[in-house]
Amino acid sequence: MLKLGNLNLQNQGNSNKIRITSKNLLSFYFQMELHHIIKDHNQLYFKKSSLIRQTQDQPVKIDVEQRLINKFNFHYLLINKRIKTLQFHYVLLLIRLTQNYQNIITLLIFIDSNQILNNIDSFDLKLGKSLFKQDQIQEALIIFENYLLSYGINPEALYFSALCYRQQNQYDKLIQQLEKLISIFPTFSRDAYLILANSLIQKNRIQDSINYLTLAIQNFNRFYDALSLRAELYLKFKFTHKAIQDFNQLIQINPKKSNAYIGLSDCFVQLNQIHLAFKYLNKAFQLEQASNSKPIIIKLFYLFFDVFDYKQSNYYLDILQQIYPEDSEQLYLKGLWYQKQNHTQQAYLAFEQAVQYNNDKQSTTQALLEIIKFEIDKNNFYSASHNLERKIFLDIFNDQFIQIELFVEGTIFLMKKKFDQGIEFLSEMIQIQNDSLKVLALQFRAYGYFYKSNYRYALKDLLDCDQNQLEQGSVYNLLLCQALLKFEENDLNSSYQIFQEAYELFKSKQEPFFYQATLLIRKYCININEDNGKIYLNQALENLQKALLIRESSNVLFYKGVLNFALGNFDQADQDLELAIENCNENQAQHYYVRGLLHNCLKLYDMAILDFKSCLHLEQEHLDSYLNRCRAYIHIGDLDNAYLDLMKYVENCKEDQLNYQMIGMLFFYIGSFEEAIFSLNMDSSIESQYLKIKVLLFYKELNIAHSELQLISENNHKANIDFQIVNILKLMCSNEIYTNLQDNISVLNKIQMSRQEGDIFKLCHIWFYYGVLLVFQREYSMALEYLNLSYEFESESENFNSHDFGNQIYNFKEYLYNNALINLMMNNNTIAIELLNKLYDNLNSMEEKVQLQIFIKLIYDDMLDTTENIKLIIQNEFYLFQQKNRLSSLLPVLQLPLKKYNVRTKLSFCLPRIEFPSIEIAFDQKLLEEITPQIVENYPEAPWIKRIKQKIVFTDNLRSIDQEIESTIRDRISGEEFKEINQIRVEFDDD
């Protein structure tokens, strides 16, 4: 009690009442004000608490709840401020009234230095504890933090604020508070040491945890819980001898508790001293009642089970079965016992019973895992998936199934050919799995990668496995991956050899032969110009035949047909392609396209058109089908459809892929002159420019052809020869033949004397035109000589047609006719008549025969030398052959030297044959160039097909350290604290 004049203040402990012992009004006023402030404080708290309780039964947004906490905090600080203000004004008033400075100083010391004993301060701690017990952690923490801020260090405030941090999982702050508490108040609380030690374990600060437990043991005599926890840590981290010392001390403290004996037994198990371990377990068993002896019996079972003493371990199993006949843990252990002795069926039944009883969470979990392992051992992944679905009906630890569920579901996705999902699941599983299941998962994922043609990833997965643990199917897949990657690196010889090794491993697989065939085709494409190039194609054909002997495959048949097509075996190719189309599960556009090409080569154009139509039905944007169907239409004369297909090809093909030279020629054959010229103009090569000139000459566009030739004649000798000939023909056809006739004859004479020729105008053509010019110069004898010389060479040409008036300089009929006319000009009428009679015999047209017969009679009549029969001179022009589209129609007429008749006629000839590229379809070399290993259907060997030799180990059958710790401290720590410590240990062990 503190006396100040007539003022008497008495502390009443934690009571909220303030007894008034003085009549001093000032003291009474101060106490009443303080009482009202505390009352306001209580009303605010209960109002806020009521509001919180109301909102717990209905959905409340987080921001609303946070505002309530902030509002509470604000009012709490505001009330403290009011108390401080009241103290300040009260002290000032005392100074003015009493002038008693010594008593004022004493009062200030009472207020500021000893507030921990004040009712206000006690109320804060009491309120904080009350909120903590009501699980209002954040509000309690606010009070404790503000208390420490306002009044300084207080052990209770430190301790309870640490407990609040623990509830919020703020272990760093918890450790900071408890370390401060222990350093200042080392004997305040035993529990503080235990909580701090477990928190340090959570943060993996094991040595610090042991140090604080040691400090607790020093500060508190016979501190059983701290000593027990330290012993368990020593045991966990294999400080066995230190653990033995601690367990012995525990026995000295309380020899009737079984925990220490169990701990000693575990220590001697670590030291492999089984007899001592058994001795202490027996001691523990004697101390426990039958109802509490289950953990010890289980330890006795494991003690002998782990050293393969199945008879003795079965003895303890029988004891468990008698005491707990329908217990999941007992049945799970029974399953392990059977499994260890390879009694698979009995083990499976025991695990199944453990799952059905479902009365022990950990045992049910482990039993279900073992059942799933059995199914995977039998490669029954769908059954494994079914058992995984049972989780939702069981009380188990779901987190222990994450990895195996990813594995099973990923494998099933692979089996369903859903490779992306399968790879995704297995990849997620592999990231968190480190046991022997990872080896199997890597093999399965490699299988998925192989199917996706990701050979490099597949090879990496297989190489990451222990090669001794690879299944034979995975070894086969590994060899294929290595060979395919060698193929990509153009190491063809090594690749071929590895494919052979793969075949030797699995002789029932056709893929190695198929891959080798693609490799030989690659060699052919590299050595296509060599004499022995086709040897590779024949070897590839043999490999495909071997592949078909193993298994008939539509894909192999198709490429066998392609090879026979390339080798010119058209009939065999047709049979192969027919079988490929019949055996294919789904129609393939490429199959019909290649058969269309083959039918075009066989000149079966109607069938080719049907094949290209089928191809386009399956793949509308297959542009090569439009192009080649256009060619087929041209061959059957359907130029309209040919034009439509060619336009479709041009409109949809990419600019950089268009072959304008070929397109120009197709337009030319269709008869589209403008499109042909335009297309050829788009190609600047000399070859295309020459083709354009040929098209112009074909259509008798001499002037344009002359201009085009002039552009390229300077740098091209043959073009220069052609240019000079066209220039002369241009003059001949423009009624200027007699202008510079001698100069033109000299030019042609110089060319023919040097025996030079152009790309269009050959030497025989030059001789003929030279002879024509000589006719107009009336040098008939020499003209006839060159005419005969020209015919001698022209008639030997492969393309010479005796009767065709089409694309050639003249035919046999015209040769006879021109020869006869020149002889008439030389007055060799008899020879002329002989030639005309020979011509008569070669004519097919009756009209032409009648006209020629009249002409011959006219010559005969003119040869009669009788004056009385002289008739009137009749002016007449005689043309035996049609002059339309013939170059000779543009030349001047020849006046025949007849005596009685005035007859004029013309020589008959045209431009020489214009050679254009053929539009006949041949084998497309691109079909061979596109053959790579990617065309082989990916059929890796499924790793799950062959039974697994070594059983899969998903989890360690040995007991975890968590169970060992639990067995020794179960009875020594209260339920809530034990739950907290065990949770920390589990999380620590996971880390």
Helix (H) or strand (E) holding 2, with range, is strand 2-4
The tokens describing 333, both together, are 């252990």
Give CA angle at 31 (27, 36), nearest 5°.
Answer: 150
**If we measure between CA atoms, which residue out of 505, 457, 521, 479 comes closest to residue 933?**
521
* Tens digit of each residue's pLDDT (9 = 90 or more) over 181-240: 999 999 999 999 999 999 999 999 999 999 999 999 999 999 999 999 999 999 999 999
Distance CA 171, CA 211 (A): 18
* Tens digit of each residue's pLDDT (9 = 90 or more) over 409-422: 999 999 999 999 99
Q: How far is CA 420 from CA 447, 469, 751, 936, in A?
A: 12, 25, 74, 20
Q: How distant is the alpha carbon of residue 521 from its chain centre? A: 28
Longest dimension (CA), the chain: 190
Q: Which CATH number fits domain 475-568+925-952: 3.40.50.720, 1.10.580.10, 1.25.40.10, 3.90.260.10?
A: 1.25.40.10
Strand-pair partners of 3: 8
Q: Measure the N-to-C terminal CA separation of the chain; round to a whole number of Å.
A: 57
Handedness of CA 740, 741, 742, 745 (dihedral sign): positive
pLDDT (0 to 100) of residue 70: 45
Instruction: Read off the amino acid at residue 478.
Output: L
Distinct helix (H) and strand (E) counts, the chain: 47, 5
Residue ranges in the chain whose pLDDT is less than 50: 1-29, 31, 34-35, 38-39, 41-42, 44-79, 81-92, 94-96, 98-120, 868-873, 875, 947-991
pLDDT (0 to 100) of residue 684: 87
Distance CA 256, CA 14 (A): 42
The tokens describing 853, both together, are 């017969």
What are the residues whose beta carbons fall under 8 Å from the beta carbon of 826, sequence distance 6 or more? 780, 781, 784
Distance CA 67, CA 50 (A): 15
What are the residues whose beta carbons fall under 8 Å from the beta carbon of 55, sequence distance 6 or more? 64, 65, 68
The CB density around residue 807, as the number of other CB atoms within 10 Å, is 15
> What is the DSSP-derived secondary structure letter of residue 58?
S
What residue segments make up the domains of the chain, in order of their start? Answer: 1-152, 475-568+925-952, 587-651, 821-912
pLDDT (0 to 100) of residue 880: 83
pLDDT (0 to 100) of residue 530: 67
Q: Report the b/e string of 510-544 with b at 16+ CB within 10 A.
A: bbbbbbbbbbbbbbbeeeeeeeeeeebbebbbebb
Q: Is the whole model's pTM more than 0.85, yes or no?
A: no
pLDDT (0 to 100) of residue 57: 40
> Domain 587-651: what homologous superfamily?
Tetratricopeptide repeat domain (1.25.40.10)
Scan for tokens 């070894």, then name that residue: 475
pLDDT (0 to 100) of residue 754: 85
